[in-house]
Amino acid sequence: MAELKMLPPKMQICAPDGRYKAVVFDMDGTLYDQKRLRLTMAIRLCLYYFCHPFKIRELFVLKTFREVREHWPETDTDAQENIDRLQYERVATKHHVTAELVEKVVERWIYEDPLSALPKYRDDKLAAYIQALREADIPVYIFSDYPAEDKLKALEIAVDDIYAPGDEREVELKPSPQGLLLLMKEHGLTPEEVLLVGDRDEKDGEAARRAGVDCVILSRKVSERQYS
């Protein structure tokens, strides 16, 4: 396996001895600067709802949706398997609106509208590294808590497979290691052969530890990341 040198603080991503046969990347906050994107989206939201004050309740719907996802009950099997439906229903119940309205608002402001701003905040060095990995025949996978396909297209990043909630695999939210375990099973990999790269130790790091996989946690500020 080719040696690819790229050194985030304290750890080399791809070991020169070829131990890692696949690299798994988190999506949000890892492949792009999430904080700067959220600032852009906050400005867009303020401008829109300033002009549409009668829809202001949608802002609270969005806030609750993020909170619900962040604190999704890991040990509740039904909740993990039916997240696509239950996430909207729980937010709708709290705000006394329909689940259809919640889904519509979330689709627009969390899944669709940010796509146009994503390329500006891409970690270009990490994107180039992913391309180099694949050119060296080292497969690259995405393990995300949110749908990733459209974001990857917007970022112009190609990967070998995506593991995220909402597809037929029923991937659980982190810090559950279920997505990593499924990935390794489907691609014939052992924990020692896989490296996870993320930006949150309490989510990405914990999932990696539970799966027995090595992990690199990058700074959440893309400008502070150190590569060689």
pLDDT exceeds cutoff 60 at 15: no
- Report residue 32: phi and psi, to 5°: -150, 165
> What is the predicted pLDDT for the residue at 3?
33
Q: Residues 12-20: what's their mean pLDDT? A: 54
Read off the pLDDT of residues 186-216 as tens digits, 9 standing for 90 and up. 999 999 999 999 999 999 999 999 999 999 8
Q: Confidence class of residue 2 from pLDDT cuts 50, 70 and 90?
A: very low
